[in-house]
Structure 1
Amino acid sequence: MGPVRTPPPAVLGAVEAAAMGLGEGSLAPRVSCLLPTGPGARFLQLPRGVVDSRAGQAAASKRDLEGWSEALTAAVTALRAGGLVAVPTDTLYGVACSACCSAALGAVYSLKGRSQTKPLAVCLGGVADIYKYCQVRVPRELLEDLLPGPVTLVMERSRELNKDLNPFTPLVGIRIPDHAFMRDLAQAFSGPLALTSANISSQPSSLNVKEFQDLWPQLSLVIDGGPIGDVKSPECRLGSTVVDLSVPGKYRIIRPGCALTQTAAILQKKYRLVPSEEPCS
């Protein structure tokens, strides 16, 4: 599958306007929010023809742009209502929810059968957003060299994050997937998204929507972006490389993931960070 790129600003503007119409009161509830109930997930397929006309590539059809806008609007609406949304990323299929909605966070753990002591990552729309939710102790250029990309950067969290998100640790993992839909979704949502893989805990990760069909009944929406990577390759199911950057001058690999070699090279050779075997925090 070829890359799916960002539609023109007018489309994103329309999505943001529609989403904001839901009301500010539903944007960032920290303790409680209503979880949608119903017979199961709605499915929307991302159009394959959307490209970024600003990059000088062929313009997508009006129908494709409308399909992209529809998927974004539906996802933002479901997330702000406290729903769980399955999404494609640059590594695996994931399940996203509002990081500000404590009920939705609990629903993610229940969905996956996940231990309450295992943290959820936070997905943001751009590097600039990291400074609101984290205490950054590395150069901005380092963040921009690794993100967007298949890397989760672990840093000390700020007070802006919901206290019910990973309450057992002062750290948080940040993801900015190199996937146009996920970046658009995070920007249109205008808040932190909790993100985890779309699978039952201890089960293999998912590279297409059929592989997590046992989760469908508990999801509000499934965004089908087509297959991710090579389903026959074990390396494609490793997920993002997780790196602890919470201590100045050091880094620790928490999970090797799919981008270990290039990530370590950037951290050591370009930024002279020292690898650590011990927890950085």
Structure 2
Amino acid sequence: MSVLINVSEFGWFTAAVERAAQFILEGKVIALPTDTVYGLAVAAQDTQAIKQLYKIKGRDQNKPLAICVNNVKSLCCWGKVDCLPSGLLDTLLPGPVTVVLERTSNLNSALNPGVSKIGIRIPDNEFVLNLCKRLGTPLALTSANASNEHSSLAPEEFQSLWPHLAAVFHSGRLGDSTSLRAGSTVVDLSAPGKYHILRPGSALANTKAILEHFSVVEQDAYCALKAQNLFCGHGNID
């Protein structure tokens, strides 16, 4: 049975971040809240922990994992941003958006092997941001549910996974909006001056408005489909 820790309890937040960091450094899998749904997380640079994450979730090995960092400066260590307009990432993030970029050589080669791109998140969630800051390394992140099941807005919705997790860090129900279950909006920004939406998610309209404000235009259908197949394999990030 995993440990349940309410990160929103008064006086417990800092200790909860430290405890989560220790679990991650030990190679354990934890659940945590994000700004959309609950997620499962491990250290992105820990190959054995990544394997365990796939096993617990029952996830297809061909489906890539996204990573999570705490600020745009950290993001630049793991994804190539040279082709992006200045200020774009600072406007999009933090928030319910996953940006897909060409990966850098800093990233664990065992994470999404054979995939040249990486999805990167900066969730607008204080607990996740503080945990990433404490670790100084990205988290590999996926939704807290068995593969092909609905994503979770409350800890009890993924209770079947609890026995396999080191801990469930939670802040109660994340909201009542069904749009949150759609997860983050996933957008491929790897082509200079262009974008393609890989998953509409919960922030589609705002994401498109920001991209168009920065004169980033939508890719044509053929190139977009090619980009989606290269990154998503047999399905989108969930």
Q: TM-score, normalising length from structure 2?
A: 0.91
Q: Which amino acid aligns with 2:107?
A: L
> 2:150: which partner in 1?
204
User: Aligned to 1:183, what secondary structure does the other structure show?
Assistant: helix
Q: Are the aligned partners of 1:208 and 1:228 in contact in 2 as well (CA < 8 Å)?
A: yes
> 1:90: which partner in 2?
35
Displacement of 1:95 in angstroms is 0.4
User: Aligned to 2:87, what secondary structure does the other structure show?
Assistant: helix
Q: Are the aligned partners of 1:117 and 1:168 in contact in 2 as well (CA < 8 Å)?
A: no
Amino-acid identity (%): 44
How do 1:105-116 and structure 2 match up within 5 A?
A: 105-116=50-61
User: Aligned to 2:28, what secondary structure does the other structure show?
Assistant: coil
- Work out the CA distance in 1 between the residues paired with 2:28 and 2:4: 14
Q: Are the aligned partners of 1:241 and 1:257 in contact in 2 as well (CA < 8 Å)?
A: yes
How do 1:1-281 and structure 2 match up within 5 A?
A: 40-48=1-9, 64-65=10-11, 67-136=12-81, 137-230=83-176, 233-268=177-212, 270-276=213-219, 277=221, 278=224, 279-280=226-227
- Work out the CA distance in 2 between the residues paired with 1:172 and 1:72: 25
User: Aligned to 2:209, what secondary structure does the other structure show?
Assistant: helix
- Work out the CA distance in 2 between the residues paired with 1:161 and 1:248: 22
**Considering only CA atoms, is the larger Rg found in Structure 1 or Structure 2?**
1
- Work out the CA distance in 1 between the residues paired with 2:135 and 2:152: 24
Q: Which has the higher contact order (CA 8 A, sep 6+)?
A: 2
- Work out the CA distance in 1 between the residues paired with 2:165 and 2:49: 11
Q: Are the aligned partners of 1:46 and 1:71 in contact in 2 as well (CA < 8 Å)?
A: yes
Cα-Cα RMSD: 1.1
- Work out the CA distance in 1 between the residues paired with 2:46 and 2:217: 37
Q: Which amino acid aligns with 1:75?
A: A
> Gaps spanning 5+ residues in structure 1: where?
1-39, 49-63
> 1:13: which partner in 2?
none
